[in-house]
Amino acid sequence: MQPAPDAPNQQAHLEWDEQGQPLSSQFADVYFSNENALAETRYVFLANNLLPERFAVLTADQQLVIGETGFGTGLNFLCAWQLFEQHAVASARLHFVSVEKYPLNKADLQRALALWPELAPYAEPLLTQYVALHPGFQRLVFAGGRVVLTLLIGDALELFGQLDGQIDAWFLDGFAPAKNPDMWTPELFAELARLSHASTTLGTFTSTGYVRRRLNDAGFKMKRVPGLGKKWEVLKGTFIGTQVTAEKPWFTRPPQPVGERSALVIGAGLSGCATAASLAARGWQVTLLERHGAIAQEASGNPQGVLYLKLSAHHTSLSRLIVSGYGHSRRLLEQLQKGTDWDNCGVLQLAFDAKEAQRQTQLAAAFPTDLLTNLDRSAAEAKAGIPLPAGGLFYPEAGWVHPPALCALFSQQPNIQLQLHQEALELRRDGDSWQAWNGEQLLASARVVVLASAAEIKG
């Protein structure tokens, strides 16, 4: 379950010292060492988690998952990404999961990352996708799906408590325990243990005895090791506790598929192309069948589609999913040609009657203003530039997209074989594979089939 985006989107408040280093006003603490930030990150988090060796032994289509408490400027993520590219095989994947209660705004993030020119090849794509980061689970995808960053925007204990996954290496990097005690509690360490397994490692810059003892109590075996520079000691460890299993069999994670990972997707509209791209990014070989001579020839061929949100003030599960999906979609559009294929012009949803106006007022009170805001008639007219019958909700980051351009972006991903003029009329099962047939002609076969043909699917 995704977390409820019920709190305002709180951003970090920064001060900058005379060397241009950022400091947190909320916690009166530095984001990283003023003297050797890169060296400290590479030692405390990368080396102490044995990441060079672990990246090097990843096999094709394997992934390593890193969990982090405190995304901050993204320095640890960028260093991990750089190291991953240096040591891992081309088909391996990195998933980085990090929580941040007070995300930096884009301008501050850009200023902070400019301190490390050698990380620019990784910082630039991060900055490009650093939009629509609203409370909840937000996913950013890089390197054609090879590197995924999942940002948990909000309280660490709440969000890690809702995370279902397994972490291979932990970076504990919140502000110092004396400055930010909520990030170093036994309750949070218990959640880290729940998400760990027998090979999970942990590194942190602090050597505080309280932290070491509480991590040991949670199931980690921690020890002090030499630090860097003015930091005499840091902590590193491994998880030796009992892995928590699902209480109910229907919550048990399914086994990893073995053998060939091939999929057949029928229908090259928006849903089919998006499904094919998602599978391809995870290393699947995908055949995409389309009966027409080009993609996006049915409903997905509309010249313009509107991207906005349909939410509930009660923060239903659907609303939480929509907020996360909206952010992911919004970041995807950054890869298209702005002004031609999409534009973040904002979307105004008018209050057409009193009941709708009341609903919009409730929504505006329930969500952050950078997600949506309620405008009166005069303010709405100023936004629209034309006379209007009423005010309404304004979604400042929303806009429009040319659906065929988005379909093209999806379908052109590696690992996708697009076959046009191929109408699948029948599916047959052949051993472990599905076959798509048109009369006596076999069109394609794969281990998994996805039907994305809307009303054309016949039972």
Question: Of the candidates 318, 271, 308, which has an alpha carbon nearest to the alpha carbon of residue 290?
Answer: 271
The token pair at 321 is: 């999913």
For all residues of the chain together, what is the average pLDDT? 91
Average pLDDT over residues 143-166: 94
3-class secondary structure, 179: coil
Strands (E), 17-92: 22-24, 29-30, 63-69
The C-alpha angle with vertex 222 and arms to 203 and 181, in degrees rounded to 5, equals 65
Q: pLDDT tens digits for 108-117?
A: 999 999 999 9
Q: What single letter denotes the amino acid at residue 340?
A: T
Question: Of the candidates 185, 89, 131, 53, which has an alpha carbon nearest to the alpha carbon of residue 396?
Answer: 131
Superfamily of domain 14-249: Vaccinia Virus protein VP39 (3.40.50.150)
The token pair at 397 is: 């980051």
Q: pLDDT value at position 244? A: 64
Model confidence band, residue 341 (pLDDT cutoffs 50, 70, 90): very high
Distance CA 316, CA 272 (A): 27
Question: Of the candidates 143, 139, 121, 118, which has an alpha carbon nearest to the alpha carbon of residue 130?
Answer: 139
Distance CA 208, CA 219 (A): 17
Q: How many C-beta atoms surround the C-beta of residue 314 within 10 A?
A: 10
Question: Are 393 and 349 in contact, with CB atoms under 8 Å apart?
Answer: yes
Q: What single letter denotes the amino acid at residue 385?
A: G
Q: Return the C-alpha torsion angle 212, 215, 216, 217, nearest 10.
A: 120
Average pLDDT over residues 160-186: 91
Does residue 428 register a pLDDT over 50?
yes
- Write out the residue limits of the CATH 3.50.50.60 domain(s) in the chain: 262-300+404-456
Place of tokens 């991903």: 413
Q: pLDDT tens digits for 270-312?
A: 999 999 999 998 889 999 999 999 999 999 999 999 999 999 9
- Which fold, 262-300+404-456? FAD/NAD(P)-binding domain (3.50.50)
Does residue 444 register a pLDDT over 70?
yes
- Write out the residue limits of the CATH 3.40.50.150 domain(s) in the chain: 14-249
Question: Are 55 and 206 in contact, with CB atoms under 8 Å apart?
Answer: no
- Cα 262–chain centre separation: 24
Q: Which helix (H) or strand (E) holds 350?
A: strand 347-350
Question: Are 171 and 200 in contact, with CB atoms under 8 Å apart?
Answer: no
Model confidence band, residue 7 (pLDDT cutoffs 50, 70, 90): very low
The whole-model pTM stands at 0.89
Question: Of the candidates 296, 196, 266, 187, which has an alpha carbon nearest to the alpha carbon of residue 426?
Answer: 266
- Cα 452–chain centre separation: 24
Q: What single letter denotes the amino acid at residue 429?
A: R
Q: What percent of the chain has pLDDT over 90?
A: 78
Question: Of the candidates 46, 49, 55, which has an alpha carbon nearest to the alpha carbon of residue 89?
Answer: 55
